[in-house]
Amino acid sequence: MSRSLNGVRVIDLSHVLAMPTCAMILGDLGAEVIKLEPSWGDDSRDFGPWIDKHGKNRSGYFISLNRNKKSITVDLKATKGKEILRDFIKVSDVIIENFRPTTMRKLGFGWEQIHEINPKIIYASICGFGHDSIEEYASRPAYDMVAQAYSGMMSLTGPLGGPPCRIGSSSGDITAGHFSAMGILAALHYRKKTGKGQYIDIAMVDGLFSMLLNAFNDYIAEGVIMEAQGTMDSHITPSQAFQTKYDWVIITAQNDSLWKKYCEVINRNDLIDHPKFKTNSLRTKNRKELLAILEPLMAKKTTKRWIDLFKKEDFTAFPVNNMKDMVENPQTRYRKMIREVDQTGLKKIRMAGTPFHLSETPGDIYAPAPILGEHSEILLKTILGYSQEEIAKLKEEKVVVPDLQV
């Protein structure tokens, strides 16, 4: 099958979540992703949940993020390990990593050195505050929790009047991975026109801050420091989750005509032209008074009953799903967002599919996550042209570690 990034080779020095997300996206789109790991492997190989039993090749966390990749173990502190990395850089299009800001320079592979080895290569890195930072943050590590807190994201998340809350998924890591992939695709396009490689500096904090457009605009325009609103939209009313008889339903009246339709469905036509509620601005201004009317009313019926009633009027109302709901949802399956994969040495496993539904070159899961060091020998032989004797010596000196069996 033709894939969008066929012919693009990526050297992946990443670990855990942020840049592995980027590498997963590139792999799903057809790039050849070569994951260079230390002898103990990516740290996430030791994260649960486990498939069958504990083991570096049985981590559900690692497997879900590292499909469509090849693994080679290389000791980058050894002189010969550095030579292997240099050889890969010479014949690759992209190199990616998410170490602490000083790590690559200490290894002798800062942007200047990598660019000298291969002027056409694209080098992308992720860290908490960016490699180009003021001195106070230039070398500080940061994790997803730090990025969510520092960026302002956490202050906007959680119940109205409650404490700051972390978003349920690792949004700082994951969004940084997505922004890195977009930067790489843009750089590949630029290189096609100019022949020039470039450096991409992605900060987790920048990525999350760039997503806070409404809060930013509120502060810039009016000096308002937005606070957590629970499920409520700060500027549209009603647009939130309402508790129903048993669980929750999402209602959103994005304009005044939808407000009219909503009132008709809930059988409260008297609210349509009410002087306090007839426009969105008035409803938002008088939200507390309006919710005192709507919340007891919405609690009288089940979520399913409300959805059925609103669906007849083509009004937006949906359930608040949990993970079981989504995995068993026919729409999720129809969109191929649950895939069964033959994981090397293990049973078939299910993982989240790729969201890239391109008409000609769709994203796909075409290879399982690699066993640690699974492709060491074949990559050294077929890409770098190492002889069997050279490979045997690298194994003997533990510069390259043979694959760790399942």
CA 47 to chain centre: 18
Distance CA 318, CA 334 (A): 18
> What is the per-residue burial (b if ≥16 Cβ within 10 Å, else e) of 73-95?
bbbbeeeebbebbebbbeebbbb
- The sign one gets for the Cα dihedral 163, 167, 173, 176 is negative
233 tagged catalytic: no
3-state percent helix, strand, coil for the chain, nearest multiple of 5:
40, 15, 45
SS3 state at 358: coil
**Residue given tokens 């306090």 in the structure block:** 276
Residue type, 260: K
Task: Output the six-digit token pair for 31.
Answer: 């790039």
Task: Output the six-digit token pair for 73.
Answer: 């173990």
79: left (phi over 0), alpha (psi -120 to 50) or beta: alpha
Q: How many CB atoms lie within 10 A of CB 181?
A: 23
Distance CA 337, CA 101 (A): 35
Distance CA 172, CA 178 (A): 10
State the Cα torsion 152-156-161-162 to the nearest 10°. Answer: -80
Q: What single DSSP character describes residue 235?
A: S
Contact (CB, 8 A) for 127 and 42 = no
**Residue given tokens 């075409």 in the structure block:** 366
Tell me the backbone φ, ψ of residue 147, rounded to 5 degrees: -60, -40
Catalytic member of 28, 93, 173, 206: 173
Distance CA 60, CA 285 (A): 47
Distance CA 156, CA 234 (A): 11
Active-site amino acid positions: 173
